[in-house]
Amino acid sequence: MKQGIFITFEGIDGSGKSTQAQMLAARLTAEGVPTLITREPGGTVLAEKIRDLLLFAEEDPAPETEILLYAAARAQHVGKVIRPALARGAVVICERFTDSTLAYQGFAAGNDPELIRQMNTFATGGLVPDLTFLLDLTPDQGWRRVQERSSRIGTDRIEARGLSFQEKVRQGYLRLAAAEAERFCLLTGSDRTKEEVHQQIWVRFLEKFPFIPVGSKGKGGK
């Protein structure tokens, strides 16, 4: 049974969600709150293997294959890692989750969003994040970070789809956030420092979960 708190970070490639997820996890851990940080696709040995297939296999997957592989990785991750951690009462912070499949494979790649919702429900057993931070920036702002990273680790298949695809992903995310304004926290603007964005995330987190035991250091300071 779910007891912990499930937080997800979403955004286009290069939106800075990894940095922000790590900053939130580090702060909660420093406050003594049991916290697990994980990512999709991935988060278990098997799901990380599926991640490699999705991002780096030589052969392009058919659209249906791609959706099923994301769902397979997610089912494994939810069953083996996320649900057990929530049952222990942890705060689980996940980089990307079901909204990524809706935004990328649904809105951007043109697959039926309703079908993807059904696949998501099947894969997760109906698990929905308690709070989702959406880091919104324009694709060319994100692209700069993607290119810096790609020159180090190589461009993956999805990043290689280019700017117009990222713009469709972005618009998909904005639609999802508008439809579920209670669950989403939209973080806009690339002109802010990562510490400023983190502070906004922290304030929203404490507003939403006031029962989380954080010390005086946590409530006000950085």
- Per CB under 6 A, residues contacting ligand TMP are 13, 39-41, 70, 96, 100-101, 104-105, 158-159
Name the 3-class secondary structure at 216.
helix
Pick the closer one to ligand TMP by CB: 55 or 212.
55
Measured CA to CA, the distance from residue 171 to residue 151 in angstroms comes to 27
Confirm if 137 and 12 have CB atoms less than 8 A apart.
yes
Pick the closer one to ligand TMP by CB: 27 or 96.
96
Task: Name the residue number minimizing CB distance to ligand TMP.
Answer: 104
Pick the closer one to ligand TMP by CB: 74 or 83.
74
Work out the number of other CB atoms within 10 angstroms of the CB of residue 195.
9
Pick the closer one to ligand TMP by CB: 12 or 33.
12
Name the 3-class secondary structure at 204.
helix
Pick the closer one to ligand TMP by CB: 46 or 212.
46
Cβ 85 to ligand TMP shortest distance, Å: 18
Can you read off the two tokens belonging to residue 88?
Answer: 């222990």
Cβ 204 to ligand TMP shortest distance, Å: 21
Pick the closer one to ligand TMP by CB: 33 or 39.
39
Cβ 66 to ligand TMP shortest distance, Å: 8
Cβ 80 to ligand TMP shortest distance, Å: 16
Cβ 108 to ligand TMP shortest distance, Å: 8
Strands 5-11, 131-136: pairing kind: parallel
Task: State the number of CA atoms in the 13 A half-sphere of 109 facing the CB.
Answer: 19
Backbone angles phi, psi at 2, to 5 degrees: -75, 130
Cβ 182 to ligand TMP shortest distance, Å: 22
Name the 3-class secondary structure at 205.
helix
Backbone angles phi, psi at 103, to 5 degrees: -70, -45
Work out the number of other CB atoms within 10 angstroms of the CB of residue 186.
14
